[in-house]
Amino acid sequence: MTKPFTYRFKVRYPEIDTQGVVFNARYLDYADLVVSEYWNDRQIRVSGEGALEFHVAHAEVDFRKPIRANEVIEGRARTTRFGNSSMTTRIELHGAGPDVDAAGDDLRAEIELVNVHVSLETGKSPPIPDSVRKALSE
C-alpha cells in the first residue's frame, strides 16, 4: 500500500457550529481541500489548458471525534481503487496539534470519495488516463 499524501490546515472560526465543533457539511469541504492539494502535488491539472474533469459520484463520511476551532488537522489521502472511468479516494482527518497521543493517532473522520472522469463536451465518462493512474498510484 502506498504512503498517503498529507496536508495540514487550521480550522477557522466560520467553520464551527453553535456547539463549538466543525459543522458536519465542512467534512466534505475538508475532503475537497485535501484531494485538491493531493492532485496538485501529483501534477494532475483540473483547471486551465488540458485540464481533466472529475465529478464526485459518491461521498461517505464516518465521524470519529469532534474537531474544534483553531485545531491543526492533518488530512491524509490515497487512491484505493481505480475502475475504468472512476476512482476511489480515502481521506482521513487526524488531529495534528500538541495534544496528539504518543502513537500519533488522533483520527477524527474517515471519508471516501468516488470520482468519475467526465467529458464536459459529450457528458460521457471516458477512461481515466494512464498518466493519472500512474501519478495517483505512487
76-115, pLDDT tens digit by residue? Answer: 999 999 999 999 999 999 999 766 655 567 999 999 999 9
Q: What is the pLDDT of residue 1?
A: 54
3-48, pLDDT tens digit by residue? Answer: 899 999 999 999 999 999 999 999 999 999 999 999 999 999 888 8
* pTM of the predicted structure, to 2 decimals: 0.91
Report H helices in the chain: 26-41, 130-137
The Cα-based distances of 48 to 18, 41, 45, 53 in angstroms read 39, 16, 7, 11
Q: Could you tell me the CATH superfamily of domain 5-137? A: Hotdog Thioesterase (3.10.129.10)
56-65, pLDDT tens digit by residue? Answer: 999 999 999 9
C-alpha dihedral sign at 6, 7, 8, 13: negative
The full set of domain ranges for the chain reads 5-137
